Each structure stands twice: as structure tokens, then as C-alpha cells.
Structure 1
């Protein structure tokens, strides 16, 4: 009996520690975010979403074949007022020249400075969950900034916290276990539903003697899809995020 009980006990202990670390990480993130907001930083959420060619064309293909099809990555940012006044990037996956990588984030920082002043840029690190916190179980101090990776990559673009700080901004990573604190997923869902429901309206078909082909106005489709996430929808989404922030601050403190 002892032979079977030990693995179960280890699993329970590991899960409990994992949850405690995740809660400490969330509390540290929220306290840092609120402190920056009180100090005059505007909150900007930065994110990416992948748009496979099958989503644009509507063709149903096998999962294995889908992995070989082109995939575009859309990188954009938003604030409580809506999409930030920055030209989003629509890139073919892994097709961005290396010499252009650093310039894109600098371009975003310049745009944020001109439009909002100093900002706290919040994003999500998909590479690995970051479970941090004091090993002795103590709560993090209010003024302690949560650790962030040296750089986060989106479709080959490097987003470096040091570049953000050099431009007067700060950089935070939303805890991976708390998706309700990250509003970009709502925007991506809105965009993709628009693509699914309206892709036929952005397609041109040409019929020749021996063959026919279809041209999809991808850029126009993306622009209209982004516009569907209106400032009013952003306001509703951000208010929902704010309620979740208040909830976690109350329950985890």
C-alpha cells in the first residue's frame, strides 16, 4: 500500500506548491500593475495571434497538412481607449528579416510615448509558465516588481524590457494561469469570427478557359476585422478585466 501512496502524496504536495506559487505570482503582478497606474503609467496590452491560411480560405484540411500551410501572425496592442495608434504588423511566420526585429518594438515605444506618455506594457509569455515567489511562503512586498524574461519573441520580433525602460516605459508579463487578466484573447476571437463569417465578401474569383482561381483580399479582411473590435467593446472588455483584478486582489491578499 505504501508503494502506491507515495506517488499520490508527492502529486498532492507538488500541486499545492504549484498553486501557492501561482497565486503569489498573480498577487505580485497585480500590485506592481496598480502601483504603476497610480504613478501615472497608462496600461497597454501587447499580443499576437496566428491566422492560418485555412482560416482565411475556409478549406477543411487534415491537421498534418495544415502544419505545412502558410500561417500569418498579427501583432498589435491596445489600451482602455481601444487599439493603440500604431500600425499593426501582419507577418508571414518566420519570414521577418533579422535586421528588422529590434526596430519594430522601438517603433511601438515611440508611438506609445507620443500618444500616451509613459506606459506599462503588459504581454504574455507563451514559451513557459513563470511560477515565481518566495520559497519560504512569504507574500511579496508591495513595491517589488515581478521578474520578466530578458526578451519575448512574437513571430521573430524581439520585445525587450530594456528597450521599453530606455523609452520611459515599464514591462510586465501577465501570469499564465490567469487568462481573465489578459484582454487580447477577446479581440483575437472577435477578429477570427469576423474572418469566418465574412471571408466570402473579400474574395474575387476569376474563371479562365482551362482553370479558375480565387483571390482573397487579406489585408482588407484583417483591417475590417480589427475595426469590429470597437472602442465600446474595448471599454466593456477592459472593465471586465478590472473586475477580475479587483477580485484577485481581494481574494489573494
Structure 2
């Protein structure tokens, strides 16, 4: 399907304006809650590929399935949320650490992009509202806004054009950089008669990698997000589609 230049220009203009308007409204509502004493917690996930941990990557032409571990966490200007990792094994998370550590929170999640998996309405119509009323999928976990509200919190979704308005991307980058550079320190080789086996202390590697996102780095990352938000509100930043 090929769009005529004028039509393509009109669609692009509509998408840009729609995205910017949603970002503006989202930021203004978020700022209002922050002024009312809500602490901002960013929730999201990432995948850690097997190759990143082992250092062994399949050939580009290989048909081998690339395995990965899905991770889920949350954090803000005060650092990672003090979760117990065993709490998420059943794909549910206790909200007690949010309340006990920060009081009332506005939880900002980066949901799975449903538009990538649907052959239904237009991309504009499928835009996830930043204040959903029904559960949304965040990485491998279903998050219900009503549950958050019942605990005194608010639940936001990052608009699809505003994924860069979260410090979690910086945190995941720090984790993956540490994993790639230091995996050999967590690897033990076992030599057999005809084979070589490697054991990797995966839990220790990941937990130490998470600690590389220090309090000062969190503060820097969240300050950078606030500056980007200010650019939107001042009309100096445009939406990239």
C-alpha cells in the first residue's frame, strides 16, 4: 500500500500532534499528582538474552532459538523499589513496599504495545490511554489500576510516543553494560574428559549489575526525564514516530 505524498504528510502530522497532545496532558496530570505529594515510581521490564550472559552468540544464519530472561522492576529518584524477588514468581507484586517506603505513589508503567499485535483499528484509535481503567500488560505481568487505587496509589501508562520519559531505560542499560563487561568474573569452567562445561552465577551477576544503578545515577536519570518533560511543556520538543 502506497500513500500519496499529501496524504502521507497529513497522516504524519496527525500522528505527531496526537502524540504530543497526549504527552502534554500526561505530563501535566503527573505534575499535579507530584505537587499533591505522590512519589513517582516507574515500572517496566526488559529481556536479558542468553548470549549477553554467556558471551556466546549464535551465527546470524543459525536457526537456533535465542533464549532470554524477562525481568520486571520499578524505581524512582530514591532508587530501586525494595521488592523481594520471590514476590514476583507468581506474576503478582505486593504493593506494601510502595506504601511502606514512599507513602502514596503514582506508578508509571510502560505497557506492551498492543498496536503491534492487533490487526484492528488504526494506530491512533488503539493508543493506550495514560490513565487506563482496565488491566494492562507490562512485560509478563498484568497490572490492574483499580488494585493500585484501592491502596491509595494512582496508575499511569506512558503514552506510546513518550517511552523516553522514564529513567528505567538508563537503569537497564547500566545492568546490561555491567553484565557484558563482567560476566567472566561470575563464570566457572569445568573440564571433563571430552567436554567443557561452564557454570554462571546468574543471580549474583544480575543483583550486582542492578546495584550499578546507584542513588546518584537514579537522581541524574530522573532529573533528565524532568528536563525532557519541561521541553514538551515549553513546546521545544517534538514527537518522533
Structure 2 counterpart of 1:19? 16
Distance 2:213 2:79 in 1: 8
Q: CA deviation at 1:121?
A: 0.3
Q: CA deviation at 1:10?
A: 1.1
Name the structure 2 match of 1:117: 103
Residue 178 (1) aligns with residue 178 (2):
no
Is it true that 1:70 corresponds to 2:67 in the alignment? yes
Aligned partners of 1:66, 1:170: CA distance in 2, in Å? 44
SS at match of 1:214: strand
Q: How far off is 1:87 after superposition? A: 2.5
Structure 1 match to 2:188? 204
> Aligned-pair RMSD on alpha carbons?
2.5
Name 2:113's counterpart in structure 1.
Answer: 127
Gaps of 5+ in 1: 133-144
Change (3 A) 1:88 1:149: farther
Which of 145, 148, 156 matches 1:164?
Answer: 148
Q: For each residue in 1:161-194, what CA deviation from the matched residue of structure 2 results, as whole angstroms up to 9, or x when unmatched?
A: 1111111110111122223311101110110010
Structure 2 gaps, min length 5: 116-122
Distance in 1 separating the partners of 2:45 and 2:134: 18
Once residues 224 and 51 of structure 2 are traced to their aligned partners in structure 1, the CA distance between those partners, rounded to angstroms, is 32
Moved over 3 A (4+): 62-67, 88-91, 128-132
Whole-angstrom CA distance in 2 between matches of 1:183 and 1:38: 20
Q: 1:233 to 1:196 in 2, by over 3 A?
A: same
| Compared CA separation, residues 33 and 14, structure 1 to 2 (3 A) | same
Does the Cα contact within 8 Å between 1:74 and 1:90 map onto a contact in 2? no
C-alpha distance after superposition, 1:188-220 (max 9, x if no partner): 011001010000000011112232200000000
1:111 deviates by 1.2
- The offset of 1:235, in angstroms, is 0.7
Number of residue equivalences: 226
**CA deviation map 1:41-80 (0-9, x unaligned):** 1000011010111111011213575772331011110011
What TM-score, normalized to structure 2?
0.85
